C-alpha cells in the first residue's frame, strides 16, 4: 500500500511517518509538505534514505501539484494545517486558505481518483466545556471559538459532505492536544521546555486554570492506524490521552522536571477568547478497536523533556527567523503588558 501524508514534515505528521515505516514494512510513504516555518525535514533525517520514503515539496492549495501527486497512491492521511490559535488570531486568512481551501483541493483530487481519505482534526472544533460538562465525543455539536478551530470545523464539514454527496471513502479523527518529540516550539509544552532550558520564563496565560487533555503523539499515531485498518467509512473517531491537567499544573510539572523553581513562571495577559476546558471521551475507539492511550502523562512528559534536552540545536534552529519574529510580536508584548499591569497601584 502507498500512503500520501500531507504535512508530513510537521510535528504530528513526521511522528506518524516514523510510526508507519516502523510498523508497516511493506508500505510506501509519500510526504507532501510545503515546508512552511513549522515544516522541518530534519524531523525525518533518519528515514530520508529509506527506499520506501519519498518527499515531495508542494502546497495543498496548488491544484495541479496535488492532482499529480495523488494519482498513484492508495490512501491519503491529511495532517497539513495551520494549527496555532495565537497565529490564527493575528492572521485568520492564512488559516482559511490552508485549512479550508487546501482541504477542498485534496478532496477534489481524492474524489477524482477514488482514494481512501482520512482527515486529522482537533477537539477544538467542539468549543469549550464548562466545569461539570461531560467530555467531548463524536456526537458533540460543533461550536468553534477561534479562527483556527472554525477553519478546522469547516474542513471537517467538507469531508463529511464529500462522503455523503459523492461517496468518497472518508473518515475523520478528532484528537486532544498532542505532545512529544519534534514539536515546534510555539506550543505550550515545547515553548516552556525550551524557555526553561535557556533560563527564560514560562509565560502562563491568565490564571493558568485552563484545562487541557494531553495525548502522547505515538498514541495518536496508533489511533490513526486503527482507523485506517478497522474504521467504518463515513465515521468519526475521538482520541484523547485521559489527562485533564490545568495549564498551571502542567507548567509546575515541567519546572520540576527541569530542576527549576516556580520563580521561572510568569503570568501574562490572557489570550482573547481563551477556552477554559477540553476533554475527550475515546470510548468509541476503545469499543471498536480496543484502542486506549498507553503512555502516561508523567512518562510522556519525561520522554519529551529528555528529547528537547538532547536536541537543543534543533530547537535553536527552529527558534530563529520566522519563529523569532512571531515570538517578539506575540509573547513579548504580552509579557511587557503583564509587567506594566502588575506594577499599577
Rounded-to-integer distance, Cα 288 and Cα 138, Å:
13
Name the catalytic one among 148, 179, 282, 331. 148
**299 labelled catalytic:** no
Q: Which of 146, 138, 179 is nearest to 284 (CA)?
A: 138
Name the catalytic one among 28, 33, 59, 123. 123
**Sheet strands side by side (includes 211-216):** 177-179, 211-216, 244-246
Q: What DSSP state is assigned to residue 144?
A: -
170 phi and psi angles, rounded to 5 deg: -130, 150
Q: Give the pairing of strands 170-175 and 53-57.
A: unpaired
**123 labelled catalytic:** yes
Q: Please provide the DSSP assignment of 170-212 as one string.
A: EEEEEE-EEESTT--TTSHHHHHHHHHHTT--EEEETTS--EE
Q: Supply 167's cell numbers.
A: 461517496
**156 labelled catalytic:** no
Name the catalytic one among 28, 86, 124, 225. 124
Active site residues: 123-124, 148
Amino acid at each position: 500500500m502507498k500512503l500520501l501524508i500531507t504535512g508530513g514534515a510537521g510535528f504530528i505528521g513526521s511522528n506518524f511517518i516514523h510510526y508507519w515505516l516502523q510498523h508497516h514494512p511493506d508500505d510506501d510513504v509519500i510526504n507532501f509538505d510545503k515546508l512552511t516555518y513549522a515544516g522541518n525535514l530534519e524531523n525525518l533525517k533518519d528515514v530520508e534514505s529509506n527506499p520506501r520514503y519519498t518527499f515531495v515539496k508542494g502546497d495543498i492549495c496548488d491544484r495541479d501539484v496535488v492532482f499529480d501527486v495523488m494519482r498513484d497512491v492508495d490512501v491519503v492521511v491529511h495532517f497539513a494545517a495551520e494549527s496555532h490559535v495565537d497565529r490564527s488570531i493575528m492572521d485568520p486568512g492564512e488559516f482559511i486558505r490552508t485549512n479550508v481551501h487546501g482541504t477542498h483541493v485534496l478532496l477534489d483530487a481524492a474524489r477524482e481518483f477514488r482514494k481512501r481519505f482520512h482527515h486529522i482534526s482537533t477537539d477544538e472544533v467542539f468549543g469549550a466545556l464548562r466545569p461539570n460538562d461531560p467530555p467531548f465525543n463524536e456526537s458533540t455539536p460543533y461550536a468553534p471559538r477561534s479562527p483556527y478551530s472554525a477553519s478546522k470545523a469547516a474542513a471537517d464539514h467538507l469531508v463529511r459532505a464529500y462522503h455523503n454527496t459523492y461517496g468518497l471513502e472518508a473518515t475523520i479523527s478528532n484528537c486532544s492536544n498532542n505532545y512529544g518529540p519534534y514539536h515546534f516550539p510555539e506550543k505550550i509544552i515545547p515553548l516552556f521546555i525550551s524557555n526553561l532550558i535557556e533560563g527564560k520564563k514560562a509565560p502562563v496565560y491568565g490564571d493558568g486554570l485552563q484545562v487541557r487533555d494531553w495525548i502522547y503523539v505515538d498514541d495518536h499515531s496508533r489511533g490513526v492506524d486503527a482507523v485506517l485498518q478497522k474504521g467504518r467509512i463515513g465515521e468519526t473517531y475521538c482520541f484523547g490521552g485521559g489527562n485533564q491537567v490545568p495549564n498551571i499544573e502542567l507548567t509546575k510539572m515541567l519546572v520540576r522536571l527541569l530542576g527549576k523553581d516556580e520563580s521561572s513562571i510568569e503570568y501574562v495577559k490572557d489570550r482573547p477568547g481563551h477556552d477554559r476546558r477540553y476533554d475527550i471521551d475515546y470510548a468509541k475507539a476503545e469499543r471498536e478497536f480496543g484502542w486506549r492511550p498507553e503512555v502516561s502523562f508523567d512518562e510522556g512528559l519525561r520522554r519529551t523533556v529528555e528529547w528537547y534536552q538532547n536536541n537543543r540545536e534543533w530547537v535553536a534552529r527552529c527558534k530563529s527567523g520566522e519563529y523569532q519574529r512571531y515570538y517578539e510580536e506575540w509573547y513579548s508584548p504580552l509579557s511587557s503588558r503583564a509587567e506594566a499591569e502588575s506594577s499599577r497601584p
